[in-house]
Structure 1
Amino acid sequence: MSDTKNYLYDVLDKFTQIAKRAILFYPFQTQETIQLLNYSENATFLVKNTITGEKYILRVGRPGYHTKEEIEGEIAWIKSIDELSTITVSLPIKAENGQYIQEITDENNTYYCTLFTFLEGKAPDENDESALIDQFEILGEITAKLHEHSIKFRDRLRNIKRLTWNYDTILGSNPKWGKWQNGLGMTQDRLALFEKVSEKIFTRLKNFGNGPDRFGLIHSDLRLANLLIDGDNIKVIDFDDCGFGYYLYDLATSLSFIEHKPYVPALIDAWIKGYQKIRPLSNEEKEEIPTFIMMRRLQLIAWIGSRDNETTRQLGSKYTEDTDLLAFKYLQNTII
């Protein structure tokens, strides 16, 4: 086994050990199995009670990724969405100590762990174009409801502590997920091309502005893996990256990893159709959609280059290479 594989195995083993310690805070889980579902920014586990068959989701936070106060802010927003909207979300569960967040300390690192309700459903299939188009119309409507909630309860939510997703924290001098310049598969020509894209994004966002009708508390990661299809409903999970950002950025995140697919224009049209059932979109906003898609694409290049997990290994440098055509089209002001 290579050193890289050994390292990843050790990391996942550590998260598993932390998960086993965290579940002890929930004595109703007298007998359970713990299965790793996903490792990205954090580790997510399926917890199943072997007696009752009940399922839960346990999230073990990566040390240093979020503060406890930021996770408390995420929980506050999730609870308000459940209480004050019709959107179906996975809810946090209190432990026996009355707390939603359990702190596990190991080797001078603190892991924040949270148990959530399990939601039935399956993620959209990116290879089923017809179904995906129908689902994006529903997603547009749900996203608009989420934004309406954010706007309506702005005063109540403005004081929660969450990261701000803007040019600076995505592509600029303080990127949360690393620098796109350090992405895989970079060449001098590609660096020059993407730099022009980044500069154009900066200029257009500056002109676009961040008024209250365009910028507020958003999910920030509505990619397909964080959506669950259950009949005609779409359930939203994983608010781990929620923060203050552009509302249209939520559309861009829905297209994560598939921005270069030929059916994307149809997905955008369907999303807009659903969104406008709830909230209007000006022509100026519609024209700026490619800007947010390109910003997200460069952000994901940075993420792939700075992370080591199954997804980043699968995508590799090809994701960067496939961005060239999108970059050229964006610079030429054509629709992605």
Structure 2
Amino acid sequence: MIADLDAAERVAARALPHYDADKGAVLTFVKYRENYVFRVDQPGRTHALRLHRSGYRTDAELVEELELVAELGKAGVAVPQVCLTAAGASFCRVADDDGDVHQVDMLEWVSGAVPLGDVGEAFSGEVPVDPATFHSLGTLVADLHTKVASLKRGKPSVRAAWDADGLVGDAPVWGDPRRAFHDGAPGHDAVDQATSLLEAELTAYGKAPDRYGPIHADFTPENVLVHNGHMTVIDFDDSGDGYYLFDLATAAFFYLPHPRFDDIVSALLAGYQSVRPLTQEDLALWRPLLLARGLTYLAWAADRLGDETSDFVLQHVRPLIVDLATEFVALTVPPHSPSALSLPEAPPCPSTRI
């Protein structure tokens, strides 16, 4: 575990020789979430350096992620180019001051680009949106799915899957969302019932190749960079096998409270379907997958109590997820069954059109 930003910067600096960086290369801290990200400026070139949290990913998982990004780039998807080390590896291993070894990789910096948005601003509903932007985003997601479906795999994925088990099964990728009600907040029973019902629905939906395969799994507005109307998708750290629709649900989730949410979703799905068709069975799973996405954020927040983002999720996002869970149970359970009687009538939701 790296103690602080200064220690992380020292590790990042030790990684630079592995990439034949100039001695005068300048490191600038960009952000920290699961990984430390630095900008590396050298004459005539700029890169993003990622210092991975120790033990978060196995070497095999990281190699799979970077190979996926490289293959998508070769296929024409707008992703950053992966930079190889001087030894030809996709990442290097560097020790910190305590001798703990960390994985470090480097990717092309997308010059001049800015994020599509910010999760907090999207959730506030105050940021103006242009549906045309989300139409373009939908086409980008569809292009990624089309290209990734054509890639030849030599072996099964070693990364966690965003399937029924990985989302709401006995051992979800990010843990049990019911742990997010440690403080006695209302909604535990709704989430508990919805989780069981959702697992059955996703299992029934299945994993046919037209609906399930390698996905990005973190299409938040921060991970889509825009420059002169051109979009590039970054940060495949959460990538793995999953439902293609899950990427679309992720792209829309934090806009749920936005007054133009219906327009955002209509444009997003229309853009996607201009490249890849969606069936009625797919569309019927739209709101359940919005719920599934929300449940993963609850579980993520439960492991990071006191963190600023976790506090935001628990204070502002959790009530919305409870509403989605209540709605889902009310629409799934017959009205006179014992399960239905244990929940109140479903409250109005931000959108019920799709």
Q: Deviations over 1:22-58 (max 9, x none)?
A: 1232233321222221211211111222xx2632100
1:206 aligns with 2:203: yes
- Of 22, 35, 42, 1:29 maps to 22
CA contact (8 A) 2:157 2:240 kept: no
Partner residue, 2:46:
55
Deviation at 1:98, TM superposition (A): 2.4
Structure 1 match to 2:273: 276
Please name the residue that 1:322 is paired with. Answer: 320
Match of 1:148 in 2: 146
Greater displacement, 169-178 / 64-73: 169-178
1:254 matches 2:251: yes
How far is 1:313 from its partner?
4.2
Query: Structure 2 stretches of 5 or more lacking a match?
Result: 332-351
**Residue of structure 1 in register with 2:87 after alignment:** 97
Aligned counterpart for 2:5 among listed residues 4, 9, 12? 12
Give the drift of 1:310.
4.4
**Equivalent-residue separation in structure 2 for 1:282 and 1:239 (angstroms):** 27
- State the distance in 2 between where 1:282 and 1:158 align: 29
Contact 1:39 1:309 in 2 (8 A): no
1:314 and 1:73, CA in 2 relative to 1: closer, same or farther beyond 3 A? same
* Residue in 2 that maps onto 1:130: 129
1:3 counterpart residue number: none
8 Å CA contact retained: 2:91, 2:103:
yes
**2:95 counterpart SS class:** strand
**Could you say which residue in structure 2 is the equivalent of 1:227?**
224
2:60 to 39, 58, 69: 69
Letter in 2 for 1:147: H
Report Cα offsets for 1:122-166 as digits up to 9, x if no partner.
1123344332x221111111111111112222x336545322112
Partner residue in 1 for 2:291: 294
CA contact (8 A) 1:219 1:239 kept: yes
Count the aligned residue pairs: 324
Q: Does the CA contact (< 8 Å) of 1:259 and 1:297 recur in 2?
A: no
Classify the secondary structure of the residue corresponding to 1:234.
strand
Alpha-carbon distance in 2 for matches of 1:243, 1:156: 13
Instruction: Please say if 1:236 is aligned against 2:233.
Output: yes
CA separation in 1, counterparts of 2:194 and 2:257?
16
- The amino acid across from 1:122 in the alignment is V
Q: Mean alpha-carbon deviation: is it higher for 90-99 or for 302-311?
A: 302-311
| Residue 275 (structure 1) shift | 0.8
For the 8 Å contact 2:177–2:299, the answer to whether it is kept is yes
Q: Tell me which of 100, 122, 147 is aligned to 1:109.
A: 100
1:291 deviates by 1.0
Change (3 A) 1:157 1:15: farther
Q: 1:163 to 1:53 in 2, by over 3 A?
A: same
AA of the residue aligned to 1:136: F
Residue 218 of structure 1 is aligned with which of 212, 215, 218? 215
Question: Could you list the runs of 5+ residues in structure 1 that have no partner in the other structure?
Answer: 1-6
2:184 is aligned with what amino acid?
T
Partner-residue secondary structure (3-state), 1:162:
coil
Query: Which whole-Å CA distance do the structure 2 matches of 1:249 and 1:276 have between them?
Result: 15
When structure 1 is superposed on structure 2, of 68-77 and 119-128 the one drifting more is 119-128
Question: Which residue number in structure 2 is paired with residue 191 of structure 1?
Answer: 188
Aligned-pair identity in percent equals 26
TM superposition shift of 1:257 = 3.3
The alpha-carbon deviation at position 201 of structure 1 amounts to 1.1
Whether the 8 Å CA contact 2:145–2:244 is kept in 1: the answer is yes
User: 2:71 corresponds to which residue?
Assistant: 80
SS for the counterpart of 1:129 is: coil
- Distance in 2 (CA, whole Å) between partners of 1:186 and 1:265 is 33
The farther-off stretch of 324-333 and 223-232 is 324-333
For structure 1, which segment, 233-242 or 254-263, has the greater mean C-alpha deviation from structure 2 after superposition? 254-263
Distance 1:261 1:72, change over 3 A: same
| Structure 1 position 220, deviation (Å) | 0.8
DSSP 3-state at the match of 1:248:
helix
CA separation of 1:241 and 1:323: change in aligned 2, threshold 3 A: same
Residue type of the alignment partner of 1:194: V
Shift of the 324–161 alpha-carbon distance from structure 1 to 2, 3 Å rule, reads: closer
Q: Is the 8 A contact 2:180 2:314 kept in 1?
A: no
- SS of corresponding position for 1:113: strand
What secondary structure sits across from 2:3 in the alignment?
Answer: helix
Distance 1:229 1:94 in 2: 25
